[in-house]
């Protein structure tokens, strides 16, 4: 049985949920998966940082009501979050990166991932920015340092869309995809079908926690654009940047648009897609589309996500599942750790870490 030391960078919903899973399921993981997780470091801009050679009680981390700078109360703790120092020096085998990230340059998550990989530590992340903007660099760095850079949760949270396509659809002649990749916009469109105006539907999404105070990234398609870049680059061998993907959101749609589509047996959905053209070029876009009610994506409702892959041998293959949620996204980190464990050895070699 292996025990892996893990550092949590960011202690918001996702990494807090991972700590909760560690507290509740470590014994089960030892039996079912062959490893345990030992949290040796946590950083958070609001709470500070704490590092422990022997490990930090995961249940205590989750159940304590922390005040600003509260990690300073712990042995080895500080009110300051020195992410670079913690990532480089903490005795961690794996770094779980789950911070807020600027979608324009991927920072600070790109630097967090780079520091960890340079130190020969594996990285698991749910952040779209580093994958969409720096995956080539970070994967190359991981190979040089005998480490792994894993990011299953960057597209559909806990739904394993990347691994499904890479493993289950290998050799099927994958030539493109189209998907509903943002639960917030999908929820808003559903509420507009019920008669709500756009602003009212967005307000309801915010009240329910589906949308941020500034919902622009969701409703204008910017979140989907990053996910399209990731899928196209990972699965179709593209080298797209976000600027290469034409992007239109749903803010211009009206209730009348929704009603007119319904009269024609259609539904509006925000679709992110990419396709390999006959000359080998990969073209991609994000835009609202009217789908026939018998389309494989038309029945995807609420905050659920789905991707339909176009293959030569199987036709359309659709993967549907949760695209958000604390526990669901934390499971994506666990699935990355499982992949690292199964690839073995999960601990980088001494030479790689030096």
Q: How far is CA 274 from CA 33, 121, 148, 179, in A?
A: 36, 33, 27, 9
Q: Count other Cβ atoms within 10 Å, centred on residue 30.
A: 15
Helix or strand (DSSP H, E) at 212: none
Domain at 161-322: CATH architecture: 2-Layer Sandwich (3.30)
Question: Environment class of residue 255 by beta-carbon count within 10 Å: exposed (0-12), middle (13-18) or buried (19+)?
Answer: middle
End-to-end CA distance of the chain: 25
pLDDT score recorded for residue 347:
56
Choosing from 227, 241, 263, 269, the catalytic residue is 227
Question: Percent of the chain having pLDDT more than 90?
Answer: 90
The CATH number given to 2-158+327-353 is: 3.40.50.720
Same fold, 2-158+327-353 and 161-322: no
192 Rama class: left (phi>0) / alpha (psi -120 to 50) / beta: alpha
Specify the pLDDT at position 52.
96
pLDDT score of 321:
92
Q: In the annotation, is 227 catalytic?
A: yes
59-77 burial code (b ≥16 CB/10 A, e <16) = eebbeeeeeebbbeebeeb
Q: What is the pLDDT of residues 57-109, one digit of tens each?
A: 999 999 999 999 999 999 999 999 999 999 999 999 999 999 988 888 999 99
Angle in degrees, 0-180, between the axes of helices 222-236 and 128-144, rounded to the nearest 10: 30
Do 324 and 157 form a contact (C-beta atoms < 8 A)? Answer: yes
What is the C-alpha separation between 123 and 333, in angstroms, rounded? 10
pLDDT at 178 over 50: yes
Average pLDDT, the chain: 94
For the chain, the structural domain boundaries read: 2-158+327-353, 161-322
Q: Which of 272, 282, 227, 280 is nearest to 250 (CA)?
A: 272
The predicted pLDDT at position 351 comes to: 40
CA distance 288 to 39: 43
| Structural contact between residues 335 and 206, judged by C-beta atoms closer than 8 angstroms | no
Cβ neighbours around 23 below 10 Å, total: 16
CA-CA distances (angstroms) from residue 269 to 19, 175, 231, 284, 311? 35, 22, 19, 16, 22
Query: For 15-33, what is the mean pLDDT?
Result: 97
Instruction: Count CA within 13 A, CB hemisphere, residue 292.
Output: 3
* Strand order across the 2-9 sheet: 77-78, 48-51, 35-44, 2-9, 94-97, 122-125, 149-150
pLDDT in tens, 103-124: 889 999 999 999 999 999 999 9
Q: Which residue has the tokens 């990234």?
A: 217
Window from 20-29, 255-264, 340-349 with minimum mean pLDDT: 340-349
- With bands split at pLDDT 50, 70 and 90, how would you rate the model's confidence at 209? confident
């Amino acid at each position: 049985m292996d025990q892996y030391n893990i550092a949590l960078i960011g202690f918001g919903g996702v990494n807090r949920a991972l700590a909760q899973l560690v507290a509740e399921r470590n014994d089960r993981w030892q039996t079912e998966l062959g490893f345990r997780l030992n949290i040796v470091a946590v950083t958070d801009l609001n709470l500070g940082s704490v590092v422990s050679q022997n490990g930090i009680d995961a249940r205590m981390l989750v159940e304590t009501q922390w005040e600003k700078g509260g990690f300073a109360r712990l042995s080895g703790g500080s009110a300051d979050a020195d992410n670079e120092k913690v990532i480089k020096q903490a005795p961690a085998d794996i770094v779980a990166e789950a911070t807020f990230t600027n979608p324009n340059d991927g920072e600070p998550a790109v630097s967090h991932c780079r520091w960890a990989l340079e130190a020969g530590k594996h990285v698991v992340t749910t952040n779209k920015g580093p994958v969409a903007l720096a995956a080539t660099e970070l994967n190359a760095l991981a190979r040089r340092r005998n480490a792994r850079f894993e990011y299953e949760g960057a597209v559909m949270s806990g739904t394993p869309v990347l691994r499904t396509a890479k493993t289950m659809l290998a050799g099927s002649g994958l030539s493109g995809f189209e998907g509903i990749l943002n639960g917030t916009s999908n929820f808003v469109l559903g509420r507009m079908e019920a008669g709500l105006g756009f602003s009212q539907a967005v307000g309801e999404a915010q009240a329910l926690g589906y949308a941020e105070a500034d919902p622009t990234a969701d409703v204008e398609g910017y979140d989907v654009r990053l996910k399209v870049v990731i899928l196209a680059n990972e699965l179709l061998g593209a080298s797209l940047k976000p600027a290469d993907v034409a992007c239109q959101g749903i803010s211009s749609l009206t209730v009348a648009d929704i009603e007119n589509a319904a009269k024609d047996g259609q539904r509006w959905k925000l679709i992110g897609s990419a396709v390999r053209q006959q000359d080998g070029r990969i073209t991609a876009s994000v835009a609202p589309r009217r789908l026939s009610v018998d389309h494989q994506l038309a029945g995807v409702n609420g905050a659920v996500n789905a991707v339909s892959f176009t293959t030569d041998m199987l036709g359309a293959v659709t993967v549907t599942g949760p695209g958000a949620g604390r526990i669901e996204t934390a499971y994506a980190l666990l699935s990355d750790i499982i992949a690292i464990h199964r690839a073995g050895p999960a601990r980088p070699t001494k030479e790689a870490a030096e």
